Each structure stands twice: as C-alpha cells, then as structure tokens.
Structure 1
Amino acid sequence: MKKDKTFRPDRVLSYFKAEWLPLAFVTLSGLVYNIGLLATPWFEGRLAQCLADILGGSETAAKMAMLVLAYIVVTLAVQAARFIKRFYVRRFANNINRRMKGILYANLVRQSRAALEKEGAGELMTKAISDVDDCVEGMRKFTTEIFDTGVALVGYAVMLLVYDWRLALLSLLFTPFSYMCAAWMKKPVQRAGAAYKKAASALSAATLDRARNAVTYRIYGCEDARVEKYEEALNTYEKTAVRNNVWQSALPPLYLAASEAGVLFILWFGAKNVLGSGWSTWDIAAFTTFLSCFTKLVVKSSKVAKLFNSVQKAEVSWKRIKPLMKQPEQLEALNIPAAQDVTLENLSFSYGEGPIFSGLSLTAHPGDIIGITGPVACGKSTFGRVFLCEAPYGGSAKFGKTEFAALTPRQISATVGYLGHDPELSADTVQNNVLCGSEQDAMPWLVAAALDGEVLAMENGV
C-alpha cells in the first residue's frame, strides 16, 4: 500500500477520496441504472393501455409484441448498468476493508504487550473483525443509496409531479414521516448496537479464557465457577443480540407501511382522473404508470430509512476503532547491541502492596545460561517480565551501564527476547515451526536457542 501524505486514517472522508476511481464507475453506472428504472413504470402503463386497446379492437397484437421487445431490451441495458454498479460498489468496500484492517493491525502490533493485555483479546478481536466490517458495510450502503436510491427517488418524484402534481404532493405526505421516525430511533439503535458490541467482546474474551485455561481450572476445582461466568456472558450476549436485531430488522417494515399510506389517495383521486372528474384527465396507462411509480418510490424510500440504521450502527463501530486509526509509525530496523553484562542489585517487584520478590542481586555475563526454579506462583515469570519494563521495578537492573527502565520500547525489543507461557506453535514439524515457510536451514536457529541436541535426538530429527 503506497503511503499517501494527504490520507488521514482517522477521517472517514479520506477513505472515500482514496477510492475515487471505483466511486466514479459507481456514479456513472448508478445514473444509467436509476434513470433507466423510470422506464419500467412507463412501459407497464403502456402495456396495460395496449392490452385495453386490443380488447377494444383498436390495436393489434403486433403493437403489444413491439412494446414487449422494447421493454426487454431496455431492461437488459438497465440490469447491465446495475451489474457494473454493484461490482464497483463491492470493490470499493473490499478496498476500504483491506485498508482499514491494515492500518488497525499495523497500530496494534506497535503497541506494548501490556497495553494489549489491558485491552483484552476479546475486545481486540471484536474491533479488528466485527467493528471494521460494520464500518465498511455502513460506508457501502451509504455509497449505494447516495449514488443509487437518491437519483431514483428524484426521478420517480419528478415523474409523479408531471402526471398530476396535486395528487403527487398529497400521496407523498407520508414519506417524510418515515424519515422522521428513523431519525427519532437513532439513539435507541445506537445504544442497542453499543451494548451488543460490548457483550460480543466479553463473550470472545470468556471463550478464549475458557479454552486456554480449561486444564488449569479443572485442576484447581474452579471449572464450575468459570462455566457459570461463561454462561452469564453468553446470556448477556444473546439478550443484547436479540435487542439489537429487533431495532435493526423490525423498524424498516414500519417505515414502508407508513410511506405506503399514500396509495389510498391514489386509488381514490386517480380513479376520478380516469373517469374525467379529477384534477387531471388520465387513461389506463397514466393510472398504472402513476401507481407503479409511487410504489417503486416508496420501496426505495424505505431503503433510505433502513440506511439510517446501518449508518448509526457504523457510527458505533467507528467510535470504538477510531483511536487506533492513525498513520502507523514508521519503525527503523532494530539496532541489536553488542553483548554486555546484566547486573541486578537489590531488585524487587510488586503488583500491589505485597512484593512478589525482593533483594535479588546477581551478575550475568555474555554466554551464561541461568535457570530460575521454584514452586507455582513464586514469581518466576514475573522476574522474566521485569526486563520488559512493562511495570516499575525496585532496585536496579542494568544492561551494561544502562538501566533497563531508561531504554526506549524499541531498544528493549532489540535487547530483550521473551517467550511467555503461551508460545504459538503449529501442529507441524519443528523445522516448519522454526522457518515458518521460508527455504533455509533450521539448524543455526536451533543452535542459537540451545535446542539442536534435543531435536537431533528425536526419532525424525527436525
């Protein structure tokens, strides 16, 4: 991905600007598609009138056949434009999704392990997957409706006004009411969406915890308590998911029903126009076209009301990931320092009031291998993490003449190697775990980790 100095990852508009080419195709094909949609009610009206004329003996079946053929050709052209529009809308959404996730992941890997653990794996997974997908879906629907439905609504409205402006205004009175309802529902929809996201994060965290520590909980007799806590998280998730789906799925039909109320005026006053006693003089074709045009306008307008809910859902997700959406810091290559003594003097560490350990002093020379042993929870892992400087320590810990606490995070990454309790191993050979797919010899790396002898003693070696 090329670096663009004008691109602002924390601005939604920047993503639209970055994808200007797919949006240009969406705009052009959307205009053709939506203007072409106006032909449908016109053809339906002409076909109804032609059928009436054939029954009356003033037209022939050949005229009907020509209308049907023209209708098919126009429909094919309109659907071709629709295919192009949908293709580039999906391409736009895929590009945005890839860009957003790339920025999010790049910023996550630059955070300290302590910061990531504080946020929680479940929360990070939800942000990295669900929230980005919801943001992109909102942007996709917004793009579709702006370049698609907006043009169709204007076209249908103009067509209705041309046929009978008084009846058009009367029948369209209920359409703005559906938009007002959607605006009134904004806060409840956002609250339900935020609660659902929070519950999804909690459930992800509980699932990971239960899978990762199942054996430990069973050994220490905590399994029943963890199961109860997991079930609580699952119940909360189910309740918030149902509530969120109700707001997302139940409201659009209400918007559609409110807009459709205008049909009553069309049936009453439109019939008068056909009989010659209304505001305009219509034939069967005009009545059918007007009714079909209004129905299609209402269906389109209900999609706009539904769009409000999608955008509100995207807003909730955007607020959650926005702090992480920034231009990733460009990191220079690690400057690995030369080997030096590690000196500890009266080292101590405490998570709270009581110290985990204290009074630890030693000097480690380059090449030394030092083993730390002791019972469970005596502070062995904590001692190892002291060198990562994720929390303040007491006493002194120096690399050469420099205090570890004085090193920058990048300097610590170049100086300290740490492998915790949860190494990421694939169910594969030692060689593939070491090389991760690269084509080279694994033995130098095994020698560096003092594992060469152990691996060579295995039945199948690496």
Structure 2
Amino acid sequence: MTSLRELKQLLAIAQEFKRPLLRATLFGSLGHLTLVVFTYFISLFFLTKITTIAAILFIVIFALAVLKGLFSYTEQLLNHYVAFKVLHVLRVKVLEKFKRISVDSFTKNTSGDYMTMITTDIELLEVFYAHTITPFMIYIVQSLVVSIFLLFFSVKLALVALIVYIVIGLVYPLSFRNVGQDVGENYRRKLTQVNNNSSEEAYGIFETLQYGKIDEAKRNIDLETEELTRSSYLKNKFLVDLNTLNVVTYNIGVLAFIYVASSLDSQFVTVSLVAMFIVSFIPILYMGNLASTLSQTMASGKRFLELMNTPEEAENSGVVVDFNELKVDNLTYRYADNTVVDNLSFEVKKGEIIGLSGPSGCGKSTIAKLIMKFISDENMEGNITIDGVELRDIDNRYFRENSSIILQDSYLFNAKIKDNITFFEKDLDKEELDASLRKTNLRTFVDNLKRRENEIVGERSSNISSGQKQRLSVARSFYNDSKLLILDEATANIDIFSEIEVLKALEESKKDKITIIISHNKSTLSICDKIIRLGE
C-alpha cells in the first residue's frame, strides 16, 4: 500500500507547480462558492414578490453568474496548464532517471513495464497532481465556508452539513483506499501483461505463421484478455459500489438537512438554504468519486517512486584510467546456485586482441557484461581491473564514453542510418562516418540507397538484412572509436567478404584499444593474439 512517506514524496514533487495550483484553488473555490451564493439568492428571488429587494437580488444574481463564469474559466485554464506541465515534468524525470541508474536495473523489469510507466502510469499521476490536489483544497475551503455560513442560521444545520461533508469527502476515501489500490494494481498488472504479450505476438507474427501456431497465439491472447476483462469488471464494480454509497449518503444527508431546516422561522430561508446545500455538494461528491480513481493513481505513484528511489550509478566521482591493460583475476560468477565462470584469469593490453571461445553457456557473454558493468558484481568473486583500478572505482560516465560492446542482436533505432551510427550527434564528423561505413563494407550499400545516409532504418530493422544490421552496429563502434571494444558474436550474421573487411579494420585500429572478441568462428578468431578457451 502507498504509505504516508510515499504520499509525501509525491506531494513534494507538486512544489514545482505550487503557484498555479494555489491560483487554481483560489479561483476554483471562488467559482464553487459563487455558485452556492448564486443558488441561495436565486431561490430567494423566486420566493420574493416583485419589490425593490427583488430587483436588487436580480442584479446580484446576474453579477454572480458573470463572476462564476470568469472564475470557472480561470480555474480550468490553470488546471489544464498544470496537467500538461505535469506530463512533461514527470516524463522528463523518468527519462533522466533512466540515464542515471545501472544497466543491471533494466533486467529486473520488461520493456512493457517501462512503457506502461511512461504512458499509462504518468497519465494517471497527472490526475493526481492536476485533478486531485486542487479539488481537495477546494473541498476543504468550501466545506468550512458553507458550514460557518450555516452557523448563522442554526448550529444543528452546520453540524449536519459538516458531518456529511467529512463522511463523503474523507471517511469513505480513506476507508476504501487499500481495497481500491489492490483492485487498481491488479488491473494495471493484467494490462501490462496483455500489452507485453500482444507486442511479442505482433513482432513474432512471421514465426507464428511459419509454424502454424496462430490458433495457439489466439488462445493465449483470448485467455489474457479474459483475465483483463475480469480485472476491469472488478475495478469498475468497485467504482460503482463506492459511487452508490456516496449517493445514498448524500440523499440521507439532504433529508436530514431538510428535517433540521424545517424548524427555522422563515420558509423562504429554509428553501434557499436547502437549495444552497444541495448545490454545495458538487466538489464534495467529486472528492468522493475521486477515491475510486485514486485506487489506480496511488498504485501508479508507488511504481513511479520505486523507480525514483532506485539506487543510481555514481557519476563523475570515480577514477579516470588510460585503458592500457585489462586484467581478470580469479574470476568466479554465479547465477543463483549455478556457477557459469569458475576461477578465470587473463589479461589483455592495449594493442592486443584476445579471443574468448567455448560452448554455449560457458560464461562468455557473462564475462563481457561484467567487464561492461551491465550486471551487478554482487555474485562475483575475484577482480576485474583496468590499469590496476577495480571496475567499480572507475568513473561511470567516463567508462561508458570510452567503451563499446557489439552484440549479436544490437538494437537499431527507427531513424536515419547516420543517426544510428552517430547516436544523433549534431556536429557529426562526415569523414569519420564515411570511414566507419567503408571499414564495415557498407559504403556501396549506402550509396545505392535513395537517400544514402539519410535513409530511415525501419522499425526493428525491418527494411535491412540481419547482416547489414550487424554491420551498422559495428560501424557505430568504429565511429565511437572506443578505447575498450568487445565483440560478442558480432560477425555471426555477416557474409565472408564483409567479415574480412571488418576484421581488417579491427587489426588496423587495434594499437589504440583493448579488444576482446567472443566467437565460435575460427576465421573470426584468426586475428586474435591469444585465445582463451572456456568450458574445457
């Protein structure tokens, strides 16, 4: 459940929108109170004979109607400003956090979880900041002002109003908060699961059709959609039940108010006060119904804060090294109870190319991820050092800027070829870009494209071959000119002629960097100065 501490953290973020929120509260309160007073006076107007007093009441009513419109317009304007500002600020906070947390943190959740956070969760948090804080403050102001106003007529009337206001606006939301949050969290979990699996089915449609498994895929989606529908039903049932409880309590409150008000001396005043009391419930009922929305919102807030509270990698506080020598000393690494690397030692100096070879599952990729700080060293024994400095002590930003890993299935953005190679660098080096394309045997391919380097690589690299995709990822590392370069089966899908060009480029540039090649292919390992065979 969302604790008081987490709620305080969410409210602390609202400090960035404090002024527009306070202005929205002011104009919102004035707008609702104007409506209450308007209702009171218009009731008196219709109950009063045409006299000078009636004429004055008419003028007052007209003025209040104009003011109500102005106040409501200003409140809506400010609330919408806050709403879009919140969406911008929260998304920036999430993306900024992504830049500061360790790569290992991303393995603990699926991409669907993060996409749901950036879209659905932040949309729900926008409801909290832009459409909950202001209504709550308006509810407080209106409840107090109306109750104090009723004191001038009857203490009992004021008590009846205050009790009903508190029950609907505070007691019910707090009482059903935990139930609502459970329902909201369950719905969000099912929605994320459907989103994840639907995306996987869409991306894997060719394999599904190839093996004739479309019926099985349909059954899986049907089953998950049924679970989502059931969860949605429970969520909406909670909303309806809470709304019904609010309406019943409201009706009982109105009847109690009428009963107490009937004892007043003036019938005109009684009718006017009852009408005013009924109208005064607009922000109060909104608060009661808001509790149902908050069930999901608070669950989203909890996940947002979990991300915000994720430990960050230390930046600009570590040691800077020259990347002259990488040394692995008595390295052992375990996944749970499974030891994948056992007491491994090797070293590689600048200007050397070392190869790692061995059967699948012997820990080659694990070693690469440990060297690149992609996974935590909690389950690691031994040391990995560069120039005698342990990896954890090397400045992270500096390390990332000067190291590269090329995976067998590297990711390419749905963007221009040049942007995929240069990572959207504004002041790109055209000569270096051209050299990177030549080193990977891509120059001719790119020149034959209609837009050359400006050609868009389609979603999931759908308009290029797997070999071209892999060569583009290698070209990216050449352009970056890293001091530490790791290739993890990076030439597996490349044709023999392109591989020769890539290996030739690696040999020519090896004097300036530490290079590690992971491969099963003997031709790829042929340029290595030394080969470490694992799992033998």
TM-score clears 0.5: yes
Structure 1 window deviating more from structure 2 (379-388 vs 302-311): it is 379-388
User: Structure 1 residues 31 and 363, CA, compared in 2 at 3 Å: closer, same or farther?
Assistant: closer
Aligned 8 A contact 2:329 2:345 in 1 = yes
Deviations 1:26-48 (A, max 9, x none): 34324433442332122212321
Structure 1 window deviating more from structure 2 (251-260 vs 420-429): it is 420-429
User: Structure 1 residues 145 and 355, CA, compared in 2 at 3 Å: closer, same or farther?
Assistant: closer
Shift of 1:406: 7.3
Match of residue 197 from structure 1: 188
Letter paired with 1:110: R
Deviations 1:230-275 (A, max 9, x none): 44433333322221232234412431232122444566676xx5xx
Match of residue 297 from structure 1: 280
Aligned 8 A contact 2:143 2:165 in 1 = no
User: Structure 1 residues 344 and 166, CA, compared in 2 at 3 Å: closer, same or farther?
Assistant: closer
- Map 1:102-121 onto structure 2 (within 5 A): 102-121=92-111
| Alignment match of 1:444 (pick from 429, 432, 454) | 432
Match of residue 44 from structure 1: 42
User: Structure 1 residues 102 and 374, CA, compared in 2 at 3 Å: closer, same or farther?
Assistant: same
Match of residue 15 from structure 1: 13
Letter paired with 2:306: P
Letter paired with 1:430: I
Letter paired with 1:234: T
Aligned 8 A contact 1:199 1:236 in 2 = yes
Aligned 8 A contact 1:149 1:304 in 2 = yes
**C-alpha distance in 2 between matches for 1:234 and 1:160:** 52
Match of residue 455 from structure 1: 443
Match of residue 76 from structure 2: 86
Match of residue 101 from structure 1: 91
Structure 1 window deviating more from structure 2 (367-376 vs 115-124): it is 367-376
**C-alpha distance in 2 between matches for 1:111 and 1:299:** 44
- Map 1:205-220 onto structure 2 (within 5 A): 205-215=196-206
Deviations 1:147-195 (A, max 9, x none): 3232222333344443454456567765555454444322211211221
Match of residue 119 from structure 2: 129
* Structure 2 residue 249 is the aligned partner of structure 1 residue 258: yes
Shift of 1:289: 1.2
- Map 1:344-423 onto structure 2 (within 5 A): 351=335, 366=350, 381-382=365-366, 384-389=368-373, 390=375, 399=386, 409-410=396-397, 412-423=399-410
Structure 1 window deviating more from structure 2 (387-396 vs 123-132): it is 387-396
Letter paired with 2:39: P
User: Structure 1 residues 171 and 129, CA, compared in 2 at 3 Å: closer, same or farther?
Assistant: closer
Match of residue 5 from structure 1: none
Letter paired with 1:417: S
Shift of 1:379: 7.0
Letter paired with 2:304: I
Aligned 8 A contact 1:160 1:294 in 2 = no
User: Structure 1 residues 358 and 207, CA, compared in 2 at 3 Å: closer, same or farther?
Assistant: farther
Shift of 1:49: 2.0
Structure 1 window deviating more from structure 2 (123-132 vs 63-72): it is 63-72
Shift of 1:209: 3.5
| Alignment match of 1:32 (pick from 10, 30, 33) | 30
| Alignment match of 2:301 (pick from 309, 318, 339) | 318
Match of residue 61 from structure 2: 71
Letter paired with 1:303: Y
User: Structure 1 residues 87 and 282, CA, compared in 2 at 3 Å: closer, same or farther?
Assistant: same
Deviations 1:264-298 (A, max 9, x none): 4566676xx5xxxx441323xx2431221121133
Structure 1 window deviating more from structure 2 (138-147 vs 9-18): it is 9-18
Structure 1 window deviating more from structure 2 (191-200 vs 389-398): it is 389-398
**C-alpha distance in 2 between matches for 1:420 and 1:232:** 35
Match of residue 480 from structure 2: none
Letter paired with 1:133: E
- How many pairs are equivalent? 439
**C-alpha distance in 2 between matches for 1:350 and 1:301:** 57
Match of residue 280 from structure 1: 265
Letter paired with 2:179: P
Letter paired with 1:290: L
Aligned 8 A contact 2:138 2:283 in 1 = no
Aligned 8 A contact 1:443 1:452 in 2 = no
Aligned 8 A contact 1:256 1:298 in 2 = no
Letter paired with 2:442: E
Letter paired with 2:30: V
| Alignment match of 1:431 (pick from 394, 398, 418) | 418
Aligned 8 A contact 1:35 1:151 in 2 = no
Q: Which has the higher contact order (CA 8 A, sep 6+)?
A: 1
Structure 1 residue matching 2:279: 3-state secondary structure: helix
Letter paired with 1:190: Q
User: Structure 1 residues 402 and 162, CA, compared in 2 at 3 Å: closer, same or farther?
Assistant: closer
Aligned 8 A contact 2:147 2:159 in 1 = no
Q: Identity percentage over the alignment?
A: 16
- Map 1:155-234 onto structure 2 (within 5 A): 155-166=145-156, 169=159, 176-178=166-168, 179-215=170-206, 228-234=219-225
Match of residue 316 from structure 2: 332
Aligned 8 A contact 2:318 2:395 in 1 = no
Structure 2: gaps of 5 or more residues: 1-5, 454-536
Structure 1: gaps of 5 or more residues: 1-7, 54-58
**C-alpha distance in 2 between matches for 1:200 and 1:383:** 36
Aligned 8 A contact 2:332 2:380 in 1 = yes
* Structure 2 residue 220 is the aligned partner of structure 1 residue 246: no
Aligned 8 A contact 1:350 1:393 in 2 = yes
TM-score when normalising by structure 2:
0.66
Structure 2 residue matching 1:438: 3-state secondary structure: coil
Structure 1 window deviating more from structure 2 (303-312 vs 70-79): it is 303-312
Shift of 1:303: 2.0
